[in-house]
Amino acid sequence: GQQVMQIPQYQHVQEGEDFTTYCNSSTTLSNIQWYKQRPGGHPVFLIQLVKSGEVKKQKRLTFQFGEAKKNSSLHITATQTTDVGTYFCAGRNTNAGKSTFGDGTTLTVKP
């Protein structure tokens, strides 16, 4: 079945440093979504990418979808303590029609 892997599993940064998490799928995706889950909270939808090579920005967050539509990345510029949480990608398989979540990257930010 479809597998979605995220690296790294954990990332500890100093406030102000940049952060990147990577998502890789074993199959070609029709779209990929990104979610943020704060400690003790539930996943909150951030964005969806659909097109090959697509790049979207939300303030300090930059999301990319690979040319082959099998990988994606989330980059945060100048992290803040409010960025703390676990970032999940969810890839939708072109054939299966359902999204599979990765196991997330947990970001901690030291003030």
Partner 1 sequence: EAGVAQSPRYKIIEKRQSVAFWCNPISGHATLYWYQQILGQGPKLLIQFQNNGVVDDSQLPKDRFSAERLKGVDSTLKIQPAKLEDSAVYLCASRPIQLTYGYTFGSGTRLTVV
Question: Can you give the binding site for partner 1, defined by CB under 8 A?
Answer: 4, 31, 33, 35, 41-48, 88, 90, 92, 97-104
Cβ closest to partner 1, residue 19 vs residue 35:
35
**Residue 42 Cβ vs partner 1, minimum distance, rounded to whole Å:** 4
3-state secondary structure 72-97: EEEEECCCCHHHCEEEEEEEEECCCC
Rounded to 5 degrees, φ, ψ at 76 are -115, 125
Strand, helix or coil for residue 38 = coil
Cβ closest to partner 1, residue 13 vs residue 47:
47
**Residue 80 Cβ vs partner 1, minimum distance, rounded to whole Å:** 23
Cβ closest to partner 1, residue 31 vs residue 72:
31
**Residue 48 Cβ vs partner 1, minimum distance, rounded to whole Å:** 6
Nearest to 47 by CA among 35, 65, 38, 59: 35
